[in-house]
């Protein structure tokens, strides 16, 4: 529904319409977030935001631009304060065309002389003649294109001290001319004037008020008086001036650190700016020469056989472990970003609320306790598109490993390390890989990006077959990930109650179980051999070592 129709609908429904002053997209959005019915594009606020008096110092196009920005930022109707119409009835006809075309739901026009001065400024409050203002209303109603657009006539007779009788006389003339509502303005510090006006009014058009100087009036009273709309005209900008002053004074007196609790986090501003939506759009529309690579980090699992880390992991998931000033997950995501990998989804389960670093998407695996790694991967099915890298969350890796991996072309690649014999006492079920060809041994090996053919994967390979350890990093080509998903769905139907790899069923299967299954189906899984560029965090010793290896922050 267009916004003018929406506003009309609000006028035809029960209850008082509440709209709030704003001056830009951000403040308009805050009004919408607080569930008000509409935005008041306040001339006072827009002028103040330019640091000029509310006295028609700005031009019509500046007010229109501000109102359009507000309108684009929200889905609720915007009522634009158009002062006296920025000139005579010719200017009014022009502004109505422009404001209506910009999607503004209604305009208010006030019956003062151009240029106006804000109603609360004592002194010059000159009224236009009734005839002149009626001409403006007629011009406005004649210029509008759709029936829904509203023209609200604002009476300044009480502001100018001309009394109730004059106000009522003018109100009737404006309604005769076609005004869709009457805004009766008063600067008294009690509601007395608007109460008297409302009691004398015949309601040939609905009434609107701006209770800035008489805030004690309650919505119940407003309702009882039959007033249809209230405008909270400028409380937002006044609050922001107070808050900014407080923070700046504190920074000056105490330093930047003192104001943390007085300001919102950057993330809140990002949200208001629409950054999350932009990121979603980027995924779909931002194409580049290089094929984008999706990364999935598997961080759902609860601690398992990790006695030495148990006191730490009682409260946090492993990916949150602080590695020299930064969570493990954040270090890994920064490494991925350095490798130009920006699409990362993290699968969460155990203590999921603590996994909240910025710059990644989160996918929850509610069954992380009863199911296993393969299920976690498939929780991310909607993002498993194109070239995909899957990473365990309990390793720390460097960029060279990722750069090597992402340049490879094979459909299924697992990264393996054959320097694992020393670590066999790691109190962990190692995921082992046997390759058809012998892997090179020794500290100084030159393998370039040679890939080896995987013959078998699992935790229980016979000793003579064991060649290397799977490090928890795998890559799938665009075709590979499609095969992965397709075969998973077939396996899901078939292996609900029978073993898959070394797992009792598909729900309890690991990535390695499933890769072994793919090998058995005849797919060619390749191994990339590395002897450096990664470390696991499985024990407290690993953790201390990792902290000693990376630079602080």
User: Would you name the residues annotated as active-site residues?
Assistant: 54
Among 234, 294, 466, 477, binds ligand SPV (CB under 6 A): 234
Among 233, 309, 503, 537, binds ligand SPV (CB under 6 A): 233
Distance CA 249, CA 219 (A): 36
> Measured at CB, which residue is nearest to Mg ion?
43
Degrees to nearest 5, angle at CA 121 with 115 and 126:
45
Cβ–Cβ < 8 Å for 468, 455: no
| Cβ at position 64, least distance to ligand SPV in Å | 15
Cβ neighbours for 54, distance < 8 A, ≥ 6 positions apart: 43, 44, 47, 48, 117, 118
Stretch of 40-48, 125-133, 250-258, 393-401 lying at the interface with ligand SPV (CB under 6 A): 40-48
Binders of ligand SPV in range 301-360 (CB under 6 A): none
Binders of ligand SPV in range 78-97 (CB under 6 A): 81
H-run or E-run covering 159? none
User: Does 32 sit near Mg ion (CB under 5 A)?
Assistant: no
If the CB atoms of residues 99 and 452 are measured against Mg ion, the closer one turns out to be 99
Among 21, 25, 191, 301, binds ligand SPV (CB under 6 A): 21
Binders of ligand SPV in range 41-80 (CB under 6 A): 42-44, 54
DSSP summary character for residue 192: H
Stretch of 4-12, 38-46, 295-303, 401-409 lying at the interface with ligand SPV (CB under 6 A): 38-46
Residue among 479, 472, 297, 298 at smallest CA distance from 385: 479
Cα–Cα distance list, 122 to 237, 245, 503 (Å)? 22, 27, 83
| Cβ at position 141, least distance to ligand SPV in Å | 21
From the number of C-beta atoms within 10 Å of its C-beta (0-12, 13-18, 19+), residue 84 rates as buried
If the CB atoms of residues 229 and 391 are measured against Mg ion, the closer one turns out to be 229
User: Could you give the 3-state DSSP secondary structure of residue 488?
Assistant: helix
Length of the chain measured in residues:
553
User: Does 118 sit near ligand SPV (CB under 6 A)?
Assistant: yes
| Cβ at position 233, least distance to ligand SPV in Å | 4
If the CB atoms of residues 54 and 111 are measured against ligand SPV, the closer one turns out to be 54
Distance CA 226, CA 219 (A): 11
Binders of Mg ion in range 66-105 (CB under 5 A): 81
426: which 2 tokens? 């790691």
Distance CA 152, CA 207 (A): 9
253: which 2 tokens? 């007196």
| Cβ at position 481, least distance to ligand SPV in Å | 56
Q: Which residues of the chain form contacts with ligand SPV (CB under 6 A)?
A: 21, 42-44, 54, 81, 118-119, 210, 212, 233-234
Q: Which residues of the chain form contacts with Mg ion (CB under 5 A)?
A: 43-44, 81
């Amino acid at each position: 529904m267009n916004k003018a129709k929406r506003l009309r609908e609000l006028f035809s429904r029960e209850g008082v319409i509440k709209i709030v002053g704003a001056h830009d997209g951000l403040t308009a959005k805050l009004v919408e977030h607080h569930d008000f019915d509409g935005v008041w594009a306040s001339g006072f606020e827009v002028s103040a935001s330019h640091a000029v008096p509310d006295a028609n110092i700005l031009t019509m196009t500046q007010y229109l631009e501000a109102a359009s920005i507000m309108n684009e930022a929200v889905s609720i109707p915007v009522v634009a304060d158009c002062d006296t119409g920025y000139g005579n009835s010719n200017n009014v006809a022009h502004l109505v065309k422009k404001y209506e075309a910009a999607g503004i739901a209604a305009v208010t026009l006030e019956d003062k002389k151009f240029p106006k001065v804000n109603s609360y400024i004592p002194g010059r409050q000159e009224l236009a003649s009734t005839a002149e203002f009626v001409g403006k209303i007629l011009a406005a109603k004649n210029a509008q294109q759709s029936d829904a657009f509203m023209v609200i006539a604002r009476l300044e007779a009480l502001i100018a001290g001309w009394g109730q009788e004059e106000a009522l006389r003018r109100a009737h003339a404006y309604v005769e001319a076609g005004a869709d509502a009457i805004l009766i303005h008063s600067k008294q510090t009690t509601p007395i004037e608007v109460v008297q006006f409302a009691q004398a009014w015949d309601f040939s058009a609905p009434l609107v008020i701006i209770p800035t100087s008489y805030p004690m009036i309650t919505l119940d009273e407003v309702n009882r008086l039959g007033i249809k709309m209230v405008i909270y005209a400028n409380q937002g900008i006044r609050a922001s001036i107070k808050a900014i002053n407080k923070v700046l004074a504190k920074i000056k007196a105490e330093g930047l650190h003192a104001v943390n609790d007085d300001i919102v986090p950057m993330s809140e501003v990002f949200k208001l700016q629409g950054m999350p939506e932009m990121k979603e759009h980027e995924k779909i529309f931002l194409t580049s020469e290089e094929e984008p690579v999706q990364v999935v980090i598997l961080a759902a699992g609860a601690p398992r056989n990790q006695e030495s880390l148990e006191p730490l992991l009682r409260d946090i998931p492993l990916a949150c472990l602080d590695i020299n000033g930064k969570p493990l997950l954040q270090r890994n995501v920064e490494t991925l970003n350095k490798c130009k990998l920006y699409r990362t989804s993290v699968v969460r389960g155990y203590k999921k609320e603590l996994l909240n670093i910025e710059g990644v998407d989160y996918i929850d695996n509610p069954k992380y306790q009863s199911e296993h790694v393969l299920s976690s991967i498939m929780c991310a099915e909607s993002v498993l598109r194109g070239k995909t890298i899957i990473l365990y969350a309990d390793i720390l890796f460097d960029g060279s490993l990722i750069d090597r991996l992402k340049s490879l072309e094979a459909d299924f690649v697992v990264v393996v390390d054959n320097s694992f014999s020393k670590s066999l006492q790691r109190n962990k079920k190692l995921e082992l890989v046997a390759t058809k060809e012998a892997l090179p041994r020794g500290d100084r090996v030159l393998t370039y990006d040679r890939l080896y053919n995987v013959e078998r994967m699992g935790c229980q390979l016979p000793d003579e077959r064991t060649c290397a350890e799977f490090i928890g990093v795998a890559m799938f080509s665009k075709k590979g990930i499609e095969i992965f998903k397709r075969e998973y769905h077939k396996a899901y139907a078939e292996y609900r109650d029978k073993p898959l790899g070394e797992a009792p069923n598909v729900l309890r299967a690991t990535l390695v179980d499933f890769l072994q299954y793919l090998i058995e189906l005849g797919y060619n899984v390749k191994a990339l051999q590395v002897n450096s560029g990664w470390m696991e965090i499985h024990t407290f010793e690993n953790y201390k070592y990792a902290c000693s290896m990376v630079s602080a922050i």
